[in-house]
Every structure is written in structure tokens, then in C-alpha cells.
């Protein structure tokens, strides 16, 4: 759901539906919802309390915005259909993943990550409601980090970007087959897919992959470098496993020539928003042109 009021400056508050919202949409009545939670050892009261706290925090933020501002409240599911204006200031009201969900649709707008709970701040959501509101009203006072984003380009001219990482692989559990070309070499591979991540993604999926590979150095939050990993490369008479991880320094790219019937590429875990490449197509992966401007 999207609502807009006012006509001048615009604050775009992006949020995710609460657990209570999700469960209410799934169950027909409050009684059925309460029974569902009780069957799993949970209390409707606890879920309601967290919902109320979230709604109150969001309302406090909205109420603090001057009346001569425009305000757009956008659910995460609607972000891909929302038209951001160049002058918008975007508030990601939730967890770190929400910043990544909205980042791919931005073109340089300032992003302020606000944690509605006020504690357990993450690397991307750094502010409580009070501090976030202060930055929203006085963005010129913000210390702004330029976060590198990653892009997949197809030879058909399609582009997909991500803040944390992009994944290229089979849409099913079959092996992905391709020829990979990296700054250190080229080889034919069969694997569970390729991940290329940024400094912003180095605390998530890439951190797990780096741990498995005993890689100690990943790009920092504002680094311009990217890191890449091949998942479960399979050795065979026709495929190799020598090129399975590395860094892409500024100016470097990674290329793939598809040798499967179909591979898909998606970013930041959003599988529904993806590119499709078929046999013989080329993919080029590297830094995207536009970084994300995050208020620290």
C-alpha cells in the first residue's frame, strides 16, 4: 500500500509488513491465528505487542515530518513499482535487508536506515527513530558513505543491480554450466552457481562463503572492490575447479558464457526480480555505475 500527501520535499518511508500483518493475511480470523500460534508454543499477545511497537515507532517518525513535506509510505512488496524522484530522501524503516531491497531502485537518493526497535543496529540500519528523523529533516548534516553496488549485464542489454550480492545459477537444483573468465584465468565449470558480493554484503552470504574457504579478508563497507565465489564446483573430464574465489579490484569484471539451457541472475535474495540468460549468452559482472548513498 502506498500513500502520498503534501507537495514539496518528499520523504519516502519504506517498511516491511509486520509478522502480525503477514499472519492476519494468511488466517481468516483472529481466533484461527491465535490457535495457529498456540500450536507452535507462541502467544498472540507477544506478536501483537511487537506489531504495536513497530506501528507506534513508524507513526512517531511520520508525525515528526513537517506538514509542508510530501510523505510516501511504501511497503517492501511495492518498491519495484514505485517511482522514486531524484530529490527524495529514503528512510528504510526496518532491518538491514530492507536497505538492500530498496537500493537497486535508486539513482543516488540519500538513504537513512532506521531501526524501529532502537537497538541492535546493523551495518546499514544505524539510527533510532529520533536520530533518523533529525537526519531526514537536516540531510546536509549527515555523514554519507558511498556504498559500491554490483551489476550483471547481459549481451542483450539487460541490467540487474544489487547492494549486497548477485547470484547466477540454475533456477532449479541442477548444475549450472558455463565458461568463467576472471582476471586470473578462464575455465569451463559445472557448479551450484556464482556469487559476486560487495563490501555491504561481506557480513552476510559472502561471510559464510569466505569462512568455508578460509578467506580472511573481505571488502569493507565502503570499499570499491568486489569478491566472488563459485559454489560447489564439480570436477570432471570437461570441467575444472581451479577458479572458485577471488577479488575484483576497481575496473575489473568477471565474464560468464552460458552453457546451460537457462541460467538466472538475481540480487539480494529477491528471486522474483531476475534476469534470464540462455545457452551461448554472455554475462558481465562488475561494479554498478551508481553507488548507494547511505547516511552513517
pLDDT digits (tens, 9 = 90+) for 236-274: 999 999 999 999 999 999 999 999 999 999 999 888 889
Which neighbouring-strand residues pair with 292?
Answer: 147
Which three three-digit cell numbers place residue 137?
Answer: 529533516
State how far the Cα of 1 lies from the Cα of 79, in Å rounded to an integer: 10
Q: What is the CA radius of gyration of the chain?
A: 21
- What is the average per-residue pLDDT within 54-68? 94
> Higher pLDDT residue, 1 or 195?
195
The one-character DSSP state at 141 is G
Fold of the 2-142 domain: Rossmann fold (3.40.50)
Share of the chain above pLDDT 70, in %: 96
Please say if the pLDDT value at position 16 is more than 90.
Answer: yes
Cα distances (angstroms) measured from residue 262 to each of 168, 170, 265, 276: 10, 7, 10, 7
Question: Where in the chain are all domains bearing CATH 2.60.200.30?
Answer: 150-289
Closest CA to 111 of 121, 120, 100: 100
Confidence of residue 115 (pLDDT cuts 50, 70, 90): very high
What is the Cα–Cα distance from 138 to 69, expressed in whole angstroms? 13
What's the mean pLDDT when you consider all of the chain?
A: 91
CATH 3.40.50 residue window(s) in the chain: 2-142
- Chain centre distance of CA 69: 28
Instruction: Answer for the pair 244, 230: CB distance below 8 angstroms, yes or no.
Output: yes
pTM across the whole model: 0.86
Average pLDDT score over residue span 67-91: 93
Q: What cell does 202 get?
A: 561481506
Nearest to 163 by CA among 144, 146, 150: 150
CATH number of 150-289: 2.60.200.30
In percent, the amount of the chain with pLDDT more than 90 equals 76
Amino acid at each position: 500500500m502506498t500513500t502520498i500527501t503534501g507537495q514539496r520535499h518528499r520523504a519516502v518511508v519504506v517498511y516491511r509488513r509486520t509478522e502480525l500483518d503477514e499472519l492476519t493475511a494468511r488466517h481468516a480470523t483472529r481466533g484461527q491465528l491465535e490457535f495457529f500460534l498456540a500450536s507452535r508454543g507462541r502467544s498472540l499477545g507477544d506478536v501483537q505487542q511487537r506489531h504495536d511497537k513497530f506501528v507506534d515507532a513508524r507513526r512517531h517518525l511520520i508525525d515528526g515530518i513537517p506538514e509542508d513535506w510530501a510523505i510516501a509510505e511504501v511497503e517492501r512488496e511495492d518498491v519495484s513499482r514505485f517511482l522514486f524522484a531524484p530529490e527524495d530522501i529514503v528512510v528504510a524503516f526496518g532491518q538491514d535487508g530492507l536497505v538492500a531491497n530498496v537500493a537497486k531502485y535508486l539513482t543516488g537518493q540519500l538513504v537513512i536506515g532506521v531501526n524501529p526497535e532502537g537497538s541492535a543496529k546493523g551495518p546499514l540500519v544505524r539510527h533510532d527513530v529520533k536520530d533518523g528523523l533529525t537526519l531526514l529533516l537536516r540531510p546536509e548534516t549527515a555523514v554519507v558513505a558511498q556504498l559500491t553496488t554490483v551489476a550483471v549485464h547481459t549481451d542483450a542489454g539487460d541490467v540487474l543491480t544489487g547492494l549486497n550480492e548477485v547470484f547466477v545459477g540454475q533456477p532449479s537444483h541442477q548444475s549450472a554450466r558455463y565458461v568463467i573468465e576472471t582476471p586470473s584465468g578462464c575455465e569451463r565449470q559445472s557448479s551450484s552457481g556464482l556469487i559476486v558480493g560487495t563490501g555491504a554484503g561481506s557480513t552476510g552470504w559472502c561471510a559464510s562463503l569466505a569462512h568455508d574457504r578460509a578467506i580472511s579478508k573481505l571488502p569493507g563497507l565502503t570499499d570499491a572492490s568486489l569478491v566472488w565465489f563459485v559454489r560447489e564446483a564439480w570436477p570432471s573430464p570437461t570441467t575444472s575447479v581451479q577458479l572458485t574465489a577471488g577479488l575484483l579490484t576497481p575496473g575489473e569484471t568477471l565474464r560468464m558464457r552460458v552453457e546451460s539451457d537457462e541460467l538466472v541472475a538475481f540480487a539480494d535474495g529477491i528471486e522474483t526480480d531476475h534476469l534470464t540468460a540462455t545457452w551461448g549468452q554472455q554475462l558481465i559482472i562488475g561494479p554498478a555505475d551508481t553507488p548507494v548513498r547511505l547516511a552513517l
